[in-house]
C-alpha cells in the first residue's frame, strides 16, 4: 500500500482527535453590508465561504485525483448521467473539474450546496441550457433567476455559473442559501472549527467531517451499521493510492464504552464482508476490504480502511446497471 503504511494511516486517524474536540464550535458570521455583492475576484479567491453555515457535513474532493484513480472512469460515467446539462454544453467533468467542496444540510429536508472549481464556458452552457434540449437525466434544463444570478436545474439538481472558474451545485434550497450570501456580501468561512483544522492540516485528496448530533442518524441505519450506534462525529482524510481507496479517520462516541463497542463492531464489519466474498466473486467483484483496523482511545476510535480499487469499479458498474434498469 504505497504512500500509506499502517503507521502513517493510524497516525492520520489519531491526528484528527484534537480537531474533533471542538466539533460544536462555529465561526461567527459578520455581515459586511447588505449591498456589498461579492465580485468575481473575491469568489475565485476562496470557494469555501460560499458554502452556507450550519453544515452537518462537509466533503472536500480533489476531482482530478478522483478521476485519475483506478475507478475514475466509472465515477465519470455516473456523474455524466446525472449532470443537469445537455451534451451540447461540452462540459467534461474529467477535463474541466478540478476540485469540489460539498456541504450537507438539514434545512428543508436533506439539502446539498456545493462549490465546483474548474473551467466553465458560460456562453456555451447558457446556449445549451435553452429549455428544449434534454439532459442525460431525461428532462430539459429549467432556467430561473435568483439573487441576481441565473440558476439552471434539471430534476432535483442544478447549478449556477458564478465565474469562469467557480460554479455552485446542489439542490434548489442549498443553492439559494449560497446565492443569498454572495448577493448580501456576507460570505465568510463558516465551517465547524474541527473541519477548518482538518482542511488546514492536510492536502489529502479527500477530507471530510460530519456531525451527527445536530442531525441524528435514522434508527434503521444504526441497526444496519452497528458501529454507528452512539457516534457523534466523524472526521476523515483519504487518497486514491494502492490498493485504490484509503481512508483514515476518527469516530467520536458518547462515552468510552460506546467507543469500545464501536471499534469492535467496525472490525466485525470486515468479517461480515469477508463472509460474503464467495458471493461477490460470482458477480466478478473481488474482496473489497483489503485492510480495516480500529483503535479505541477514550471516547474516540481511530480507524484505517483500505479498499480494492477494482472492486470499487465493479460495484459502480453494478450500481449503474441497476439505476438504468429502473
Evaluate whether residue 3 is within a structural domain: no
**Domain's final residue, options 119, 149, 183:** 183
Q: Note whether 92 and 225 are same-domain residues.
A: no
Strand partners, 207: 60, 237
**Domain's final residue, options 131, 157, 183:** 183
How many CB atoms are closer than 10 A to CB 251?
Answer: 30
Map residue 134 onto helix, strand or coil: strand
Which pLDDT score is estimated for 138? 84
Q: Provide the pLDDT confidence category of residue 322 given band limits of 50, 70 and 90.
A: low
Map residue 267 onto helix, strand or coil: helix
Q: Note whether 262 and 146 are same-domain residues.
A: no
Q: Note whether 198 and 172 are same-domain residues.
A: no
Q: Note whether 312 and 197 are same-domain residues.
A: yes
CA neighbours closer than 13 Å in the CB half-sphere of residue 44: 12
Which pLDDT score is estimated for 285? 81
Question: How many residues are there in the chain?
Answer: 326
**Domain's final residue, options 156, 183, 210:** 183
Domain membership of residue 82 as a residue range: 36-183
Angstrom distance (rounded) from CA 31 to CA 181: 9
Q: Note whether 292 and 207 are same-domain residues.
A: yes
Q: Note whether 214 and 277 are same-domain residues.
A: yes
Q: Note whether 103 and 207 are same-domain residues.
A: no
Which pLDDT score is estimated for 213? 84
Q: Note whether 156 and 220 are same-domain residues.
A: no
Q: Mention every residue, 6+ apart, whose C-beta is less than 8 A from residue 216.
A: none
Find the mean pLDDT for residues 24-43. Answer: 57
Angstrom distance (rounded) from CA 127 to CA 311: 39
Q: Which three cell numbers stand for residue 228?
A: 454507528
Map residue 155 onto helix, strand or coil: coil
Which stretches of 53-141 are assigned E, i.e. beta strand? 57-62, 97-105, 111-118
- Computed over every residue of the chain, the mean pLDDT equals 84
- The count of domains in the chain is 2
Q: Provide the pLDDT confidence category of residue 253 given band limits of 50, 70 and 90.
A: very high
Percent above pLDDT 70 for the chain:
85
Cell 428532462 locates to 139
The residue among 21 and 36 whose pLDDT is bigger is 36
Q: Note whether 88 and 155 are same-domain residues.
A: yes
Evaluate whether residue 25 is within a structural domain: no
Q: Provide the pLDDT confidence category of residue 71 given band limits of 50, 70 and 90.
A: very high
Per-residue pLDDT at 298 exceeds 90:
yes
Which pLDDT score is estimated for 308? 96
Map residue 100 onto helix, strand or coil: strand
Q: Provide the pLDDT confidence category of residue 294 given band limits of 50, 70 and 90.
A: very high
Percent above pLDDT 90 for the chain:
52
Which pLDDT score is estimated for 36? 62
In sequence order, which ranges of 146-255 are alpha helices (DSSP H)? 172-183, 193-201, 219-224
Evaluate whether residue 29 is within a structural domain: no
Angstrom distance (rounded) from CA 32 to CA 37: 9
CA neighbours closer than 13 Å in the CB half-sphere of residue 145: 1
Q: What is the DSSP string of 20-44?
A: HTTTT-BPPP----TT-PPPHHHHH
The residue among 219 and 176 whose pLDDT is bigger is 176
Which pLDDT score is estimated for 255? 96
Evaluate whether residue 27 is within a structural domain: no
Which pLDDT score is estimated for 11? 52
Q: Note whether 221 and 179 are same-domain residues.
A: no
Q: Note whether 243 and 281 are same-domain residues.
A: yes
Q: Note whether 62 and 143 are same-domain residues.
A: yes
Strand partners, 59: 102, 208
Which pLDDT score is estimated for 216? 67
Evaluate whether residue 18 is within a structural domain: no
Amino acid at each position: 500500500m504505497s504512500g500509506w503504511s499502517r503507521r502513517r494511516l493510524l497516525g492520520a486517524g489519531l491526528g484528527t482527535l484534537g480537531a474533533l474536540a471542538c466539533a460544536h464550535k462555529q465561526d461567527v458570521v459578520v455581515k459586511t453590508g447588505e449591498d456589498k455583492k461579492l465580485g468575481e475576484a473575491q469568489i475565485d479567491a476562496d470557494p469555501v465561504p460560499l458554502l452556507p453555515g450550519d453544515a452537518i457535513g462537509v466533503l472536500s474532493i480533489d476531482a482530478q485525483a478522483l478521476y485519475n484513480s483506478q475507478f475514475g472512469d466509472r465515477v465519470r460515467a455516473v456523474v455524466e448521467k446525472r449532470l443537469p446539462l445537455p451534451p451540447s454544453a461540452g462540459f467534461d467533468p474529467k477535463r474541466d473539474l478540478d476540485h469540489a467542496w460539498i456541504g450537507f444540510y438539514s434545512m428543508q429536508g436533506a439539502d446539498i450546496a456545493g462549490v465546483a472549481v474548474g473551467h466553465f464556458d458560460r456562453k456555451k452552457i447558457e446556449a445549451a441550457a435553452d429549455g428544449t434540449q434534454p439532459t442525460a437525466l431525461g428532462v430539459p434544463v429549467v432556467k430561473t433567476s435568483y439573487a441576481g444570478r441565473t440558476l439552471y436545474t434539471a430534476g432535483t439538481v442544478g447549478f449556477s455559473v458564478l465565474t469562469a472558474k467557480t460554479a455552485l451545485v446542489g439542490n434548489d434550497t442549498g443553492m439559494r442559501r449560497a446565492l443569498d450570501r454572495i448577493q448580501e456580501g456576507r460570505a465568510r468561512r463558516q465551517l465547524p472549527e474541527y473541519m477548518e483544522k482538518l482542511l488546514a492540516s492536510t492536502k489529502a485528496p479527500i477530507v471530510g467531517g460530519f456531525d451527527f448530533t445536530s442531525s441524528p442518524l435514522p434508527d434503521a441505519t444504526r441497526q444496519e451499521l452497528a458501529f454507528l450506534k452512539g457516534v457523534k462525529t466523524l472526521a476523515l482524510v483519504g487518497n486514491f493510492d494502492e490498493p485504490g481507496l484509503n481512508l483514515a479517520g476518527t469516530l467520536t462516541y458518547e462515552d468510552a464504552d460506546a467507543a469500545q463497542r464501536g471499534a469492535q463492531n467496525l472490525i466485525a464489519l470486515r468479517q461480515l464482508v469477508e463472509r460474503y466474498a464467495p458471493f461477490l466473486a460470482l458477480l466478478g467483484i473481488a474482496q473489497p476490504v483489503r485492510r480495516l483496523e480500529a483503535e479505541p482511545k477514550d471516547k474516540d476510535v481511530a480507524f484505517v480502511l483500505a479498499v480494492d480499487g477494482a472492486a470499487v469499479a465493479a460495484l459502480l458498474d453494478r450500481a449503474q446497471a441497476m439505476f438504468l434498469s429502473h
